[in-house]
A and B are shown apart, each in its own frame.
Chain A
Amino acid sequence: MSIEPTTLPVRSGEDVVKVRQAVRTLAMDLGFSLVDQTKVITAASELARNTLTYGGGGEVRIERLNEGARRHGLRLTFEDRGPGISNIDLALTDGFTTGNGLGLGLNGARKLSHEFDIWSQPGVGTRVTITRWK
């Protein structure tokens, strides 16, 4: 079950900062440790930048997850209608980039998350979902 999802635009560098801040607020509210907060903020930053740089902008949905009384988590869904990714395995390889970054963003976000899901179709867009449990 999830409550109070928020959707934020990812259309500028300042939006990326706002996404980080929103994720930080929710992670703190969920009682994440400082290290876990940092991991999920960093993953959010990587994915938000990908949405902006490669997807041409899009949005992120930020959700709080409650599974029973004890298991709490945070789910982020980044979505764009950009060119899409033709080879997802390659895009997930450390060091691979079609831009001028380090090629660590997508796989880095995966490493920093407990669950990772990517959907992409060339010409349609890309959707990346990550979940981090407390």
Chain B
Amino acid sequence: MDRVPILRLGDCLLVTVQVDMHDELAMALQDDLTNKIVATKARGVLIDISALEMVDSFIGRMLGNIAAMSRILDARTVVVGMQPAVAITLVELGLSLPGIRTALNVDAGLALLRRMLDTSGEGVHVD
């Protein structure tokens, strides 16, 4: 089966979703990421969805699950690159992605992750 590649970037993991994901692929990504966070002791996860032409309730739920699971595994998740049309549609759909931090692009996302990790290192609770 196809897999969405997960790249390691220092203490962070970078996922660039480049295909129109079917549900099984989205589920596999959720599992793979969780395992990879543990295996690499990653502190941050960056998910780039700039190539996604739509986010429906299933993908929205997957993003929320990844954020929740990585939080439990002591890592933070930032979703970056959402297209404006996708954001408009998500809100109209009634999905506001609670609990998910977002940034406009990979650079901004990495900077946000860095700030979140620095703050959490001082024992301050972010989220």
Contact = CB atoms under 8 A, between A and B. Distances in A.
Given A38-B54, A42-B93, A108-B95, A13 B20 contact: no
Interface string B36-70: 00000000000000000111111011000000000
A49 B62 CA distance: 15
Given A38-B53, A112-B89, A102 B61 contact: yes
Contacts of A94: 94
Which bucket holds chain A's interface residue count?
A: 20 to 34
Given A17-B22, A35-B85, A35-B89, A108 B54 contact: no
B23 interface: yes
A107 B92 CA distance: 11
Nearest to A34: B85
A38 B86 CA distance: 7
A65 interface: no
B89 A42 contact: yes
Main secondary structure, interface of B, reads helix
A45 interface: yes
A37 B20 contact: no
B23 A111 contact: no
Contacts of B53: 24, 37-38, 41
Contacts of B20: 17, 20-21
B94 A107 contact: yes
Contact of B93 (A34, A49, A104): A104
6 contacts: A17-B20, A35-B85, A42-B56, A49-B23, A105-B57, A107-B94
Interface of A: 12-14, 16-17, 20-21, 24, 34-35, 37-39, 41-42, 45-46, 49, 94, 101-102, 104-105, 107-108, 111-112
Interface of B: 20-25, 53-58, 60-61, 83-86, 88-89, 92-95
